[in-house]
Structure 1
Amino acid sequence: MQNDAAATGDLAGLIDHTVLKPEASRAEVARHCDEAVANGFASVCVNGAHVAFVAARLKGTPVKTCAVLGFPLGASGAGAKAAEAQWLVAQGADELDMVLDIGALREGDLDRVRADMAVVREASAGRVLKVILETCLLDEAQIVAACRIAAEVGADFVKTSTGFSTGGASPDVVALMRQTVGLGIGVKASGGIRTAEAARAMVAAGANRIGASASVAIVGAAKDTAAAGGY
């Protein structure tokens, strides 16, 4: 599931411009919305409290409203996640980034992992669904299992990280995720991506969406490199 932006090297069109810190003000969220429109980012990714505001501010633009759910621990339970998904959709979310049940995955209870994802898929009313694995807490076999289940339940993307745990994205993990899901669904790299070089490394490894808070600096550096005739 590579997109045209990945093929052309246009990093801006791949970026979910992210503002998830708990102390984020409404003014800061508004600034992220305006930056996303100005730079042509894919979406603005926020916590649920800001979704209605973001959806209203982005109305009439091509930038999507992305909301996290079960965030950042993934341990709120399937029923709570389903209710949150329904509420986020009602608030105006176009895309939902859910954290899977990490504890269930680590203990090998794949039926619980599948049920957790499936109930959110059903509750998301056809919105784009990204499943956050939190790969820094998983081994390779667990990453592969989670990716396969996400594909089975109809998720649109698998995503590396919340950015709130012990590590973020790496090209090796992105490549493993892409190898596992093939081209049928997307791979989102997030967590610790702060430079154009890092973003390009993730795209080269197979990512077709990037989650970043340093988005403006990333695309600015990419434009400077292109103007200089370099990579």
Structure 2
Amino acid sequence: MQLNNYIDHTNLKPVANQQDIINLCKEAKEHLFYAVCVNGCYVKLAGEALKGSKVKIAAVIGFPLGAMDTGSKIFEAKECIANGADEIDMVINIGELKDGNLKFVEDEISEIKKAIGTKILKVIIETCYLDDDEKRAACTCALKASADFVKTSTGFGNGGATPEDVKIMKSIVGDKMQIKASGGIKDRKTAEKYIELGASRLGTSSGISLITT
């Protein structure tokens, strides 16, 4: 299994500096990872560092809490695309979901998808804060809103991806959407397990060790 084709090589740390992002991009090019995943302020820098390569740029918005207003998320998404991002990883409004305001959640995802046009939208539902019914509801919202992926986690919550979460997500989205497992994926065995369960992308800061051990 060519794991490099599944990996979003990630550095979203608050202390990440320009050299860290340049190094991230260098590693992504060297190991032919699918994408790098960075905060919005580093999209332009990543574009410069990846010039001439096939590595995609994924940018996070509404990160990591998802609790800002929809207009701010849309603005952030548009800025990231204008600066060269190929994909957007957005965090849903978890509070609205837990209040049962599914229309709000679906509409927000839909508006962001419309704002970025043909670019890829991944919807982070932050499974560690949700019960199973809420996970199913979040996936249904993303599906109805025509997003491209559902994603387990930001990596900043109190837990990351689990096999059970990926199974639940797959049961809702089937082959209509893709799944990104992220958070706590640090070894090859775990990575391969998520792919077997239906994940087509892995978000990890341990990409190099995944493909070399």
Pairs within 5 Å for 1:98-137:
98-137=90-129
Q: Distance in 1 between matches of 2:49 and 2:115?
A: 25
Runs of 4+ more than 6 Å apart: none
Cα deviation, residue 111, structure 1: 1.0
Aligned equivalent of 1:59: 51
Equivalent runs, 1:1-231 vs 2, <5 Å: 9-221=1-213
User: What are the ranges of 5 or more consecutive residues in structure 1 without an aligned counterpart?
Assistant: 1-8, 222-231
Equivalent position amino acid for 2:185 in 1? I
**Structure 2 unaligned blocks of 5 or more:** none
Cα distance in 1 for residues equivalent to 2:85 and 2:145: 20
Q: How many residues of Structure 1 are paired with residues of Structure 2 in the alignment?
A: 213
Cα deviation for residue 125 of structure 1 reads: 2.4
Q: Tell me the percent identity.
A: 44
Residue 59 of structure 1, CA deviation: 2.1
1:118 positional shift? 1.2
Give TM-score, length-normalised by structure 2: 0.98
State the AA in 1 paired with 2:183: G
**TM-score, length basis structure 1:** 0.91
Q: Distance between the aligned counterparts of 1:24 and 1:88, measured in 2?
A: 18
Provide the residue aligned with 1:225 in structure 2.
Answer: none
Structure 2 distance, partners of 1:86, 1:200, is 34
Q: Indicate the RMSD between aligned Cα atoms, in angstroms.
A: 0.8
1:93-129 CA distance string (max 9 Å, x none): 0000000010000110101111211111111122100
Higher-Rg member (1/2): 1
